[in-house]
Amino acid sequence: MKPISLTLHGAIDYLAVLIFAAAPAALGLSGWPAALSYALAGIHLLMTLLTDFPAGAIKLVAVTLHKWVERTVGPVLIILALVPLNGATENARIFFGIMGVVILTVEGLTAYCSITEAK
């Protein structure tokens, strides 16, 4: 049995939004890493608000799509951390790597089946 409920997953998603939004100021990110962090905050907020799970407000996005977006974004962030791109400081690379691992871990530990079994 997976230990993260969809309710807890939603709360973690909202926390991730705050972390992405605060990271540029807290970590001194600038340029494209800061823009990416702000974009991810907005996208993560929109995706969470629109997902058909307890934390979603509008419930237009299927939980399975939400899950696949996380399965895509997590590895992309890890790759960004490993590839030395112009403008990415060590802080930015570490931050994106950690967030990628966190996103994949939360996705992997979430009991998504609880929503499909309830319907």
pLDDT at residue 10 is higher than 90: yes
What is the rounded average pLDDT of the residues 22-39? 96
Domain ranges of the chain: 6-118
Which residue from 109, 33, 28 is spatially nearest to 67, judged by alpha carbons?
109
Which residue from 17, 7, 12 is spatially nearest to 53, judged by alpha carbons?
7
What is the rounded average pLDDT of the residues 33-61? 96
Q: What is the pLDDT of residue 114?
A: 54
What's the pLDDT tens digit per position in 52-99? 999 999 999 999 999 999 999 999 999 999 998 888 899 999 999 999
Q: What is the pLDDT of residue 16?
A: 98
